[in-house]
Amino acid sequence: MTYSSSPDSPQTSHPARSGGLRPNAVGLVGLTVLGAVMMSPAMGIYGTWGPMEGMVGQIVPLVFLAALIISLPNALSYIIVNREMPSTGAAFTWTWRTSSPIAGLLVGLVAIAYYITQVILQPLLFGLFFNDLLRAVGVETGTWTLLFGAALVTVVVCMMTYRGIQASTKSAVTFLIIETAVLLALCATILITRGIDHELSLSPFLVSEGQGGLPAFWTAVLLGVLSFTGFDVISTLAEEAHTPRRLLPKATLLAVSLVGLVWVFATWAFALSEPPSTVSKYNAMGLTAVTPMARDYWGWGHILIIITAMTALTGIYVATVLGASRMIYAIARQDLLPSPLARLHPRSRVPHNAMTLVYLVSASGAGGMLVLLGNAVDAFVWWSQVVVFLALILYSAVNLANLLFFARIARARRRWLSNAILPVAGIVLNLYVIYRSFFLALWDSDFRLGKSVVIAALATLAIFVAYAVVVRLRAPGRLRGDPITD
């Protein structure tokens, strides 16, 4: 089996593409920022700190450390395979080359669904924070204001993403700087205040300070692992990056480790900000605990937290659209999806048709679930659970690609720790989370936000399998040779 030596090497022209993506458009900073934006230093903690502290007490920093350790096998497999086979198709291309073309197509479809589902979440959550902002300034809110906020952010993101990859990365840098600065400023305020009151301590790092025992700890860890999903978007920019074999691995490692360390530091400060009983009270009231906590320290300045959340979500929205559209483009240029989806805009060199499809499908998914459930928070939770399911399948496929590449193609360079033990550990951990979270917890809960998620996720996989089988039977020639890389 052969594979391209470089994502920038010349390839046979493809009639649907009108040239390739813009090469050498993104450097190390841009790649790292897009990965970090996808995980989001602010939203990764704003949405999870309250529920985590309600489960385990003050030891949320230990939960994030555990989640970082659990997520590392997936991130390291991405790093290893990116070094060998950088490609916009990412998991699609890697599975095609190391396993089989039909398996690659199936994984590619899962990747598209994963990224589009991530896109669906952003306008929903933005609309919720938009309503929070309006309420903070005394404006009456409702579903119509939520929809207006969702439409507003979509227009802004469209303007960024259709202009080209460089405009998108510059916008992402701005959003990341804003949200990280506000988050760290709040942490500094908390720590200074606690220090003045002689209540500064390292107790959040002591296991003895926890509550709920191991069951509560591991349940909280699942939320921590969810926060780490998204770094994989870096891989989809392989053909637009400078020296991708060198920069993609570095960017992935930097994004995961730096954001993870920010979360550990921030949760330490947050854990000292309020007693666990107060945080549990906020949770019981259905509030995002960070907003009333910030009001205690900043007064009206807590509006900055809401604004930070909105800018963070805008950055995530940009990153998810980039990931989804690049994955669709990579599969469409292989003639496995309609050829118009492989066309690039002649000036910006972005897959504009694929982007348009992403916006249409995500708007339908967000609006449809909002109508069915009648509640934007429930719609967000429903789609979030689908994201976790798809992400863990995708990450397992990348771990398998790491294992098979060095077992079948580059056996002489195989290292048992990084190319055998590491990917197997990643697969086992991912399958355990799927079993624990979906086939136990969700299946045993109500239909509305539990069983329906499992059924929808399994039905989606069944549709993808059926599509791959149809392609294999009706157009087997499209599942031969190596995938196209620019």
Q: Phi, psi (5° rounding) for residue 210?
A: -80, 170
Inside any domain, residue 363: yes
Q: What is the mean pLDDT of residues 166-170?
A: 58
Q: Cite the DSSP H helix spans in 274-375.
A: 276-284, 290-298, 303-332, 352-373
The sign one gets for the Cα dihedral 421, 426, 431, 433 is positive
332 in a domain, yes or no? yes
Whole-angstrom distance, CA of residue 166 vs CA of residue 106? 30
Measured CA to CA, the distance from residue 225 to residue 392 in angstroms comes to: 10
Q: Examine residue 402 and state whether it is found in any structural domain, yes or no.
A: no
Cα–Cα separations (whole angstroms), residue 326 to 30, 121, 236, 384, 430: 16, 19, 6, 21, 25
**Could you give the CA distance from residue 104 to residue 126 in angstroms, rounded to a whole number?**
34
Tokens 């666990």, residue located: 276
In a domain, 12, yes or no: no
Q: Nearest-CA neighbor of 186 among 12, 309, 5?
A: 309
What CATH number does the domain containing 314 carry? 1.20.1740.10
How far CA 23 is from CA of 6, 172, 251, in Å, comes to: 12, 19, 17
Number of domains observed in the structure of the chain: 1
List phi, psi (to 5°) of 332.
Answer: -70, -35
Instruction: Examine residue 181 and state whether it is found in any structural domain, yes or no.
Output: yes
β-partners of residue 26 are 241
In a domain, 420, yes or no: no
Q: How far is Cα 231 from Cα 34, in angstroms, rounded to an integer? A: 8
pLDDT value at residue 397: 95
* Nearest to 430, CA basis, from 385, 397, 452, 381: 397
- 43 lies in a domain? yes
Over 50: is that where the pLDDT of 6 sits? no
Which residue is listed with tokens 């220090």?
A: 195
Predicted pLDDT at 26 = 58
How far apart (Å, rounded) are the C-alpha atoms in residues 447 and 382?
A: 11
Contact criterion met (CB below 8 Å) for 90 and 236: yes
Residue among 114, 152, 104, 127 nearest 38 (CA): 114
Which is more confidently placed, 206 or 360?
Answer: 360
Average pLDDT over residues 133-138: 86
The pLDDT-based confidence of 43 (bands split at 50, 70, 90) is confident
What is the average pLDDT across 49-66?
A: 86
Does the pLDDT at position 252 exceed 70?
Answer: yes
Instruction: Look at residue 100 in the predicted model and tell me its pLDDT.
Output: 93
Reply yes or no on whether the pLDDT at 214 is more than 80: no
Give CB contacts under 8 A, 24+ apart, made by 189-198: 189/297, 189/298, 190/269, 190/270, 190/272, 190/273, 190/297, 191/269, 191/272, 193/297, 194/272, 194/273
Phi-psi region of 449 (alpha: psi -120 to 50; beta: other; left: phi over 0): alpha
Q: Using the predicted structure, report yes or no on whether residue 29 has a pLDDT greater than 70.
A: no
Please report the pLDDT score of residue 167 as a whole number: 54
Q: Which domain holds residue 255?
A: 28-377
3-class SS of residue 13 = coil
Q: Is residue 9 part of a domain?
A: no
What are phi and psi for residue 26, nearest 5 degrees?
-130, 130
Q: For residues 286 and 50, what is the distance between their CA atoms, to the nearest angstrom? A: 10
CB of 165 closer than 8 Å to CB of 237: yes
For the segment 292-340, what is each residue's pLDDT rounded down to a tens digit? 899 899 988 888 888 888 888 888 888 889 889 988 998 998 999 999 9
Q: Residue 341 is encoded by which pair of tokens?
A: 């989806």
| Residue 2 in this model has a pLDDT that exceeds 70 | no
Both structure tokens of 427: 């697969």
Mean pLDDT score across all residues of the chain:
83
| Continuous H helices in 99-142 | 101-136
Better-scored residue on pLDDT, 342 or 47: 342
Q: Is the pLDDT of residue 14 over 50?
A: no
Check pLDDT > 50 for residue 348: yes
pLDDT at 62 over 50: yes
Strand ranges inside 423-484, DSSP E:
none
